Amino acid sequence: MSITVGMLSADDIRNSKVFTALGGFRNGFDTPENWVYLMNLRNHARDQPCMVRVPEVCNGNQQTTVLAHYRLSGVSGMGVKSPDVIGAWACSACHAWIDTNHSDEAKVMHLEGMVRTINALVKGNYLKW
Ligand SMILES: [Zn+2]
C-alpha cells in the first residue's frame, strides 16, 4: 500500500519528498511495479464529511473539512507530521476541539474518526490493499 499524487513515475516518487514521507509504507513491496500510488489525501479531505463528529461541537460543514493528522511519539514529532493515512477528516470545529483538548476522550474520538476515514478511503477505492 502506498499513497499519492497523480501520475508520478516510480522515479519521481523515489526521489520526492512524498516518497520519503511514505517510505514506511514500502515495506513488503520490493519493486516499483508493485507499488500502488493513489492521491494526495490532504487535498482529498476537502468537501468530505466530518468523521470525528464530536457531540455538540461538530459543525457538519464539509466545506471546512481538513485532514487532521494524529500525533504519536515515534510516528510524528519535531517538524515531522504523521503520514497522511494517520489522520481523520475533521470539520473546523472538531479539528479545533481535538487540537486543544488532550483528554483520553479526545484521543479516542480522533482515532475513531481516523478509522472511519480509512474505511471511507478503502470503500471509495482511494486506498487499496
Ligand atoms: Zn466535526
69 catalytic residue (yes or no): yes
Let me know whether 45 and 96 are in one domain. Answer: yes
On whether residue 111 sits in a domain, the answer given is yes
Phi/psi of residue 80, nearest 5 degrees: -120, 115
Let me know whether 57 and 116 are in one domain.
Answer: yes
Please report the pLDDT score of residue 51 as a whole number: 98
> Which one of 69, 95, 102, 110 is the catalytic residue?
69
60 and 107 part of one domain: yes
Q: Does residue 6 share a domain with residue 64? A: no
Domain shared by 70 and 18, yes or no: no
**The C-alpha cell of 77 is what?**
514529532
How far, in Å, is the centroid of ligand 1 from the Cα of 84?
A: 18
* Helix and strand counts by DSSP (H, E) for the chain: 5, 2
Residue of 82, 80, 103, 100 lying closest to 92 (CA atoms): 100
Is the same domain home to 29 and 68?
A: no
pTM (2 d.p.): 0.71
For residue 1, pLDDT beyond 50: no
Q: 66 or 10: which carries more pLDDT confidence?
A: 66
Same domain, 50 and 99: yes
Distance 89 CA to ligand 1 centre (A): 8
Comparing CA positions, the residue from 82, 88, 85, 83 lying closest to residue 111 is 88
Q: How many domains are there within the chain? A: 2
pLDDT in tens, 17-68: 444 344 434 434 434 444 444 467 888 899 999 999 999 999 999 999 999 9
